[in-house]
Amino acid sequence: MKLIVCISTLLSLIIFNPSSGFSESSEEKGLAIAQEDDKRDNGFKDFTASMVMVLKNRQGEESSRNIKNKTLEVENDGDKSLSIFERPRDVKGTALLNYTHKTGSDDQWLYLPALKRVKRISSANKSGSFMGSEFAFEDITSQEVEKYTYKWIRDEEYQNEKCFVFERYPAYKNSGYTRQVVWLDKKNYKVVRIEFYDRKNTSLKTLTQSNFKQYLGKYWYPGTMYMENHQTGKSTLITWKNYKFNNGLGEKDFNKNSLKRAR
Amino acid sequence: MPVFTSTFKNVLLGSTIFWFLFTTSIPHAHEFSGFVGADTRLFPNSALYSGQEDHSSSFVIQPEYYHEFESGSSFTFVPFYRLDSADKQRTHFDIREFSFLWLQNNFELRLGVRKVFWGTTEVLHLVDIINQTDLVENVDTEDKLGQPMLNISFSRNWGVWDLYWLPYFREKTFIGTGGRLRSSAIVETDLTQYESSAKKWHSDWALRYSHSFSDWDIGLSQFIGTSRDPSFIDGKNSDGTIVKIPRYEQIRQTSLDLSFVSGQWLWKGESLYRSGQGNDDYFAWTGGFEYTLARIWDSQMDLGVIGEWMFDTRGDNANTPFENDLAGGLRFSLNDAASTEALFSWTQDINSQARYLFLEARRRIGENLLLTTEFRAFLNQPSEDFLFEQRADEIINIELAYYF
C-alpha cells in the first residue's frame, strides 16, 4: 500500500509538476537564473557613485552629463534612488527621486532648483529617454525579478566568459520593448550584454557592460556601460566612478526634504 | 636654462598644489556656480503710455556659493543683480538666498534668506505664499524675492511638518514708468501702506503639513500675516501724478494642494480660503491634469498635454487675471543633446473673449550657454478685464545665459 502511494506520488510529481527536477522548462530555467542573479545582488544596503554620460550623435558630435547617484536597498521592495545632476550647468541641482516597486508603477519626484519646486512626475513613460541619452528610464531603474518573464535560450561563450543567454519580456505596461536578450556570465552573474528589441520586434539597441569591479568582496558592478542605437546611429557611454558602499544611508535620505537639499 | 627649469618646477609645484586643493573630491567642499545673461525685449505694438519704450535690453548675474560641512549642514549664498535699459525699477539687486541649514537626525533648521515653493499646478501658483513675487523680472510670477525666515522641518514616515517664522516682509516689485506690461498709472512704492502698524516688521507665521502616500501627494498649509498681494488705492504722488498705492493687509489663509498620479495622467489641484483681504472672505481654486506621451511619432520626443481651470469667487473684483479661466498647453521635450524644450499655452477667460497666449522655447548651445525665447500676447481684453491696460504689451523676450 505504501509503495503504491509512493509510486502514485512520484507519478503525479512527474506528470503534473515537471519542474520538480527531471525536465526544467526554458521559462523556469530563465526565471531561476534571474532569481539567482537577484539573490547575489541582495544585501548591499546602500551605495553612492557618480557617472559621466557621453552622448554621441551619428555625426560624432559629443555632449556630456555628470550625475551623482545614491541608492538604498529596500527589503521586500525595489530600491530607492536619488540622482543629482551636476552638468550641464543649466540643470545643475536638478534631482530625481525614484522609488522602484517590484510590482506596479514606480514613484518619481523631480526637484527643480530654480523654482525650489518638487514635482511629482508620472513614471508610466518608462520608454522615455533619460536626459536625452540612449538609455530609457526602464534601462536605468532598479531591475527587479518581478518586472519580467523569462526564457533561457542557450549557454555560450561571450568574450571568453561562459554565459547564460536568456530572453526577458517586460511584465509592466508602456515598455518600449517586446523583448531583451541578456548575456549573463555564469561565474559571477555579471550582465555583460543586452540586446533590445522595439515594439515591432526589430533590433533597437545593444548595451555592453565592461570594466567590472568587485565590491565588498561580493558585488560586481560595471565601470562602463555602452548603449548603441542601431536605428539612429546614436550612442551613449556611461562611466561610473567613486563607488562607495555602507554610507549608513536610510529612508530619511530618500524623502522630499532630502530631495530639496540634494547636492 | 637652470633659471627656466626652476621656474618651471615652481609652476609645476604650484599647479600640483592647486590641483590637489581644488580638484580632490572632498565630500564637504566649496561649490561655486551660477549664471550671467543678457536679454532683449521687443514689443511689436507701440507703447500706450508716455515714458514706455518699444525695446529694452538688460544684463543679469546670479552667482551661487555653497558650502557643505562634514555634518551635512550647509551654507548657501545667492546674490542677484539686473541692469535694465528701459525701466529703473527693473534695475535691482536682491539676495535670493543667504541661509544656513542645520541638519539633525530628527529635524532640519533653516535660518536666513530663502525661497520656498508650495503647489502643484502649472499655470497659476495659487497657494504659494512664503516668498514675495519679483514682478519686474517676469509677469509669470515665478521669480521670487528672498524671504528672511526661521524654518524648522520635521520629517516622519507619516509626513513632513514645517513651521515658518517670517520676521520681515518683502514688498512686491512693480514695473516703473519706462517699463511695459504695466497699467497706465504706475504703482508708487514710496507711498506703500500697511494694515499693521509694525509695517514691514510684522511677524508672519506659516505651518505646513505635507505627505506622500502611494499615488498621492498632499500639502495642507496655514498662513497668518501680511498678504503678499496688495490691494490698490488710487492716489497722487509728490509730483501730482496719478498713481496706484499698494496696501498690504493682514490675512489668514488656509490652503490645500494635491496631486494624484495614475498611469500617464497626473491630476493636480490647489485651493485656498482667505480672509482679511478686502471686505469679504473668498475661495479660489485651480486644478487640472497633465498627460504625458513618450516617444511620439517614433522619435525621442515626449509630449505633455496640460489642461487647467482657475476660479476665484471674487470674480472681476479679484486682483488676479484668472478669476474664471481655462488653460490648455502643450509641452514638447525633444530629448536631444541640446535638451530642446517648447511650451505653448492658451488661457481663455470663460466669461469674455479675453485670452492670453504664451510660448516658451529653450535650447542649450554647447555645454554652458542656454538660449531662451518667450512670447506673450494678451488678446481681446475687454475694458473691465484685469489685463486691459496691458493690451498693447505683446512681448518677445530673447535671453542668452552662460551657466558656470
Condensed to tens digits (0 to 9), the pLDDT of residues B240-298 reads: 899 999 999 999 999 999 999 998 999 999 999 999 998 899 999 999 999 998 888 87
Is the CB of B403 less than 8 angstroms away from the CB of A263? no
Q: Residue A28: which H helix or E strand, with range?
A: helix A26-41
Q: 3-state SS of A229-255?
A: ECCCCCEEEEEEEEEEECCCCCHHHHC
**CA–CA gap between residue B357 and residue B355 (Å, rounded):** 7
Distance from the A55 Cα atom to the nearest Cα atom in chain B, whole angstroms: 7
Winning range, highest mean pLDDT, from A202-206, B178-182, B185-189? A202-206
Residue A230 lies in a domain: yes
First to last CA, chain A: 72
Q: Which residue type sits at A164?
A: F
User: E strand or H helix at B395, and its extent?
Assistant: strand B395-403
Q: Is residue A144 domain-resident?
A: yes
Task: Please indicate, yes or no, whether the overall pTM of this predicted structure exceeds 0.90.
Answer: no
Is the pLDDT at B400 greater than 80? The verdict is: yes
Q: Using alpha carbons only, give the angle B229, B230, B236 rounded to the nearest 5 degrees.
A: 155
A18 inside domain: no
Question: In the 8-state DSSP scheme, what is residue A108?
Answer: E
Q: Is A173 on the interface with B (CB under 8 A)?
A: yes
Q: Indicate the pLDDT class of residue B19, thresholds 50, 70 and 90.
A: very low
Residue A16 belongs to some domain of the structure: no
Q: What is the pLDDT of residue B47?
A: 87
CA distance B184 to B317: 18
Q: Is any Cβ of chain A less than 8 angstroms from the Cβ of B375?
A: no
* Of A58-62, B15-19, B68-72, B316-320, the least confident: B15-19
Banded pLDDT at B388 (limits 50, 70, 90): confident
pLDDT score recorded for residue A15:
52
Query: Is the residue at A104 inside a domain?
Result: yes
Report whether pLDDT(B168) > 70.
yes
The answer to whether B159 touches B209, Cβ cutoff 8 Å, is: yes
Q: A26's torsion region: left (phi>0), alpha (psi -120 to 50) or beta?
A: alpha
CB A13 within 8 A of CB A20: yes
* C-alpha–C-alpha distance, residues B286 and B269, integer Å: 6
Q: Assess contact for B379 and B356: CB atoms under 8 A.
A: yes
B403–A92: do the CB atoms touch at under 8 Å?
yes
Name the residue among B259, B338, B404 with its Cβ closest to that of A89: B404
Give yes or no for residue A141 having a pLDDT over 70: yes
B104, closest residue in chain A (CA to CA): A252
pLDDT (tens digit, 9 = 90+) per residue, A60-114? 999 999 999 999 999 888 899 999 999 999 999 999 999 998 888 889 999 999 9
Residue contact B367–A115, C-beta within 8 A: no
Interface membership of B293 toward A (CB under 8 Å): yes
Q: Write out chain A residues lying below 8 Å of B266, CB-based.
A: 120-122
What whole-number distance in Å separates Cα of residue B96 and Cα of residue B390? 28
HSE-CB of B226 using CA atoms within 13 angstroms: 28
Cβ–Cβ below 8 Å for B404 and A90: no
Question: According to the model, what pLDDT value does residue B11 have?
Answer: 47
Q: Closest Cα of chain A to B167: distance in Å?
A: 21
Domains contained in chain B, CATH given: 2-403 (2.40.160.10)
B292·A116 Cβ contact <8 A: no
Answer whether B300 touches A (CB < 8 Å).
Answer: yes
**Which CATH number belongs to the domain containing residue A73 in this structure?**
2.50.20.10
Q: What is the dihedral of CA A220, A222, A223, A224, to 10 degrees?
A: 170
Please tell me which residue of chain A has the smallest CA distance to B144.
A115
Q: Is some CB atom of chain B closer than 8 A to the CB atom of A229?
A: no
Look up the domain containing A32 and give its range.
23-260
Q: Do A116 and B101 touch (CB under 8 A)?
A: no
Q: Return the DSSP state at A129.
A: B
Domains contained in chain A, number: 1
